[in-house]
Amino acid sequence: QFADNAFAGVTVLKTAHVENNRLTQLPRNFPFDKMETLTISRNPWHCSCQLAPLRKWLKSNRTRAEDTCSTPAQHRGQPIRDTPALRSCKLPTKRSRKGSRH
């Protein structure tokens, strides 16, 4: 597993290959912003709201790389992109530091 601060300070990560591990989650600060290639297959993903940013990335990139939930049991085998487990998750929004919008 990754430490919570594993990607602290990382601003541009374009490619990551994390397949064939025993990952159940990605750290909250995983840098999806500039990600172009991400391979996640063959991991026992736990489909909770912590994976919501991954689902958003999968949907926006129309990548073929698809993996499925291993847990919780009621979502086992469902694609991360489409599982109901993540549909109601709220994604953190980026707020402007100044707090004003033009």
| Average pLDDT over every residue of 41-63 | 91
Amino acid 15 reads T
Q: Is the pLDDT of residue 60 over 50?
A: yes
Q: pLDDT confidence of 4, banded at 50, 70, 90?
A: confident
Which stretches of the chain are DSSP H helices? 52-61
Q: pLDDT confidence of 94, banded at 50, 70, 90?
A: low
| Average pLDDT over every residue of 80-100 | 74
pLDDT tens digits, 21-40:
999 999 988 999 999 999 99
CATH number assigned to the domain with residue range 15-79, chosen from the 4 options 3.40.50.300, 3.40.630.30, 3.80.10.10, 3.40.50.720: 3.80.10.10
Domain ranges of the chain: 15-79
